[in-house]
Amino acid sequence: MLKDLERKLKIEKFNRFSQINMPIDYRFDIEDDEYPQVIFYFVKSKEDILELMNYSFDLPEDNRVIVIFEKGKKLRDELQPLRHNGFKMKAPMLCSIDERLSGFCLMKVRG
């Protein structure tokens, strides 16, 4: 699944990953790296999104933060403020991960 996930999210060039706030049932079969280039961050509520905005990331300049959420949750509009709080949208922006999950692709901007 990881190769398919990398292709869908356009993150094939990265090789260090970490999962934050991911429920055990949704965790990907990847090893968490101490110095990730890509972070998968699970949100289930507006409060989780606020926590994400205030989370202290130690990421390289070229990075991705993939916000993961359950399909059917009305969180897409709640994610829009991230664009104005230190994040930049990256292709494919909104993506179906599998039958249960969707992802929103961002890059954490330094500065």
Residue stretches of the chain with pLDDT short of 70? 1-2, 76, 111
- Each domain of the chain, given as residue ranges in start order, spans 2-108
What pLDDT digit, counting tens, does each position of 13-31 carry? 999 999 999 999 999 999 9
33/29 Cα distance (integer angstroms): 13
87/50 Cα distance (integer angstroms): 13
Burial of 110 (0-12, 13-18, 19+ CB in 10 A): exposed
pLDDT of 55 reads: 84
